[in-house]
Amino acid sequence: MPRIAQAFARARAENRAAFVAYLCAGDPDFDTSLAACRALLASGVDLLELGVPFSDPLADGLTNQLAAQRALESGMTAARVFELARRIREFSGAPIVFYTYYNLVFANGVAAYVRAAKSAGVDGILTLDLPPEEADEVTAAGGAHGVDTVFIIAPTTPDARIARIAAATTGFLYYVSREGVTGVRDQVAGNIPEAMARIRAHTQLPVAVGFGIGTRAQVTQVAAHADGVVVGSALVNCVRDHLADRAQIAPALALRAADLSAGVKRA
């Protein structure tokens, strides 16, 4: 069974949602990023989403935009992102998903990029700005090299298109709970139970919910309905808040992840 499927199956068997954590690869530098990933994976994270730093991250709010900028300024490249994944794989068997944009995949050659991701130990690719109708090359490469595809469903996605998106997905479906970009919000979107029912009418794949989730209470609220809960900006903010003393980034993330991951348990 692929690692992504294993992670969701294990969470389901333990009557909880999977905890999915996002960090931008290389933020604020390679070694600190590696230590940060290690800290998260030791603190209740089931699946690690590695953001591939990009100069024009259209789906991301200011928090993640600045993280990408810090990573790029520190010298992160596609090759260094692959190296980071390889280094993580040395100490963790948790699934790794690249959170990326199609330009980065296309510019390197789709088949070559997916093959390199697989070689580095990556389990899935979520290409934010690639609709499934235009993703045949990516899905074919994923199938050929054993890399799962992850696609996004939005609150505005009609039922007919949910079926199309689900058909192109092999890992899990990522439900964006809010319109707009990434970022912590005061409240969780109120339509999650209805959205989960709509999506599950078309697929048996796991559904993870992200965008705007940043507290343990919010994690618990989403975990009651979703197969996975994605937290990104709240963790990236831990990186930002400790830039003056980078040795404190990993310990701060460990504490925050342990608190957040405690929320995935269901009553």
- The answer to whether the beta carbons of residues 53 and 74 sit under 8 Å apart is no
CA dihedral angle for residue 168, residue 172, residue 174, residue 225, rounded to 10 degrees: 130
Pair of tokens at residue 22: 């996002």
Residues 156/157/158/161 CA torsion (nearest 10 deg): 170
- Signed CA dihedral, 52, 124, 215, 211: sign only: positive
Q: Which of 27, 46, 60, 123 is labelled catalytic?
A: 60
Catalytic residue among 46, 49, 123, 227: 49
Please indicate whether residue 49 is annotated as part of the active site: yes
Report which of 35, 37, 67 is spatially closest to residue 54, judged by C-alpha positions: 67
> How would DSSP label each residue in 197-258?
HHHHTT--S-EEEESS--SHHHHHHHHTT-SEEEE-HHHHHHHHHTTTSGGGHHHHHHHHHH
Q: For residue 127, give both structure tokens.
A: 């290409």
Rounded CA separation 74/140 (Å): 33
Q: Any residues with CB less than 8 A from the CB of 174 and at least 6 apart, and which?
A: 126, 150, 151, 152, 153, 207, 208, 210, 230
Residues composing the chain: 267
Q: In the numeric block, which tokens belong to residue 139?
A: 């899905």
Residues catalogued as catalytic: 49, 60
